[in-house]
Amino acid sequence: MSDGNAMTKDDGNAMLLVNKRGATTVNVGGTRFQTAASTLMTNSTYFASLFSDNWLNSSHAKEDDDEIFLDQDPIVFAKLLSYMRKGMIRIEDIDMDVLFLAEFLRMERLLLAIKVRWYCNIGKGPVDLESDEAIATAFDEVHGGIIKAISNGLYPSFQEQDNVNAEQDLALLTVYEENYDSRVYVERIVNGAPGVPIECDGIFGALNGLHANGFTSPGLQLDADAPHRCREYITFYRRRHSTIMRTTGDATSILIPTQDEINRSRDNYPKQFVAYILTTEEDVRIIAPAEFIINEADVDLTQRDSTNPYNTTIIKLDEDRDDRELKYWLLKHNFTTPETSWPLGLPKTSYISYLGGLNKCLLQIYSRPLKQQQE
């Protein structure tokens, strides 16, 4: 401006004047928004640079003029200002115009969340990325950043997860029995390269370990040929990247999912399983994940790792009690969903065969969402 009352940035789009109270009015394309300077500064590197101490102490900042002018769309800015005030934003509100303005204003926390979600939704790129920052960096390297991703037609995959073109990992479950020697183990295969097989603590150790690592959908049950009739094979697949299964980082917590996403998450979220067993001798027990190891008298803790999801433990009753105690245990730990089908795709006889050779008269499988374990 020619009157010298405002600071002009190199792009010529923004001019800023702040009063001594820290409150300011943002004039966006002719529409005025009143807010606190701190709201803008803490959410936008662009505004933070305008409110720098060097500039506020300069002759450009006058106490009687508190208006910012921004040559942008006021409707789009209103969505971002609402996010700055609340700390959260709905996925439906993040259209391409919002992405462009968030980039222009350099809203780093929001941009980080957007890149993490987008990268996982696309489902392509380097594997085993843990931190939010590593995923955002991979998004920039693989997809060229937000503006480039939009120009390459990838915006729809920000709004909706791409389940058609996403890369997948494979886990091959092998159930082996010969001469009363029973073994269950899982082998994870990435890009055709097999890993080291993990020996599992029975069927339920394999089932819980697979779900804990995101393998929730049974694939093809392989036909065991004549030389290998003692083995049963089942393939499991998972998306290469998923915001659901990430155990570190919380960048996407500021993004409010759509109702459809919430419903799909409930339906597809990994589970934990337990087996409730009543034998003909009225012996009642539960085969549960190893995290429930609590009694050193019942379990050799030197042989069991309670943090390994492929391990299990047995919870049983004292001889002078009935099964109501274990029914209460199931309810207490929210194992309240009876599984009407056999989760691994194996026949019921396989479950009985690999549960330790007990003479069973009743076998029930219950599950709970794995998310509840993590909360």
Mean pLDDT of 226-232: 57
Residue 109: predicted pLDDT: 96
Q: Which residues, at least 6 apart from 284, have a Cβ–Cβ distance to it below 8 Å? A: 276, 277, 278, 316, 317, 322, 323, 326
Would you say how long the chain is, in residues? Answer: 375
Residue 33: predicted pLDDT: 94
Strands 255-256 and 31-36: unpaired
Rounded CA-CA distance 311/289 in Å is: 6
In tens, the pLDDT along 245-279 reads: 565 678 889 999 888 887 776 666 788 999 888 77
pLDDT above 90 as % of the chain? 31
Highest mean pLDDT among 48-62, 131-145, 160-174 belongs to: 131-145
More confident residue, 80 or 375: 80
More confident residue, 116 or 357: 116
Quickly state the pLDDT bin for 321 (edges 50, 70, 90): low
pLDDT above 70 as % of the chain? 71
What are the angstrom distances between the C-alpha of 323 and each of 162, 219, 272, 277, 320? 46, 36, 21, 10, 10
Mean pLDDT of 21-29: 82
In tens, the pLDDT along 163-178 reads: 888 888 888 888 876 6
More confident residue, 175 or 19: 175
Distance of CA 248 to the CA centre of its chain: 9
Instruction: Please tell me the pTM assigned to this model.
Output: 0.71
More confident residue, 76 or 363: 76
Among 104-113, 326-335, 358-367, which is the least confidently predicted range? 358-367
What are the angstrom distances between the C-alpha of 244 and each of 120, 130, 214? 9, 13, 9
Mean pLDDT of 235-250: 73
| Mean pLDDT value across the chain | 78
In tens, the pLDDT along 352-365 reads: 766 655 555 678 89
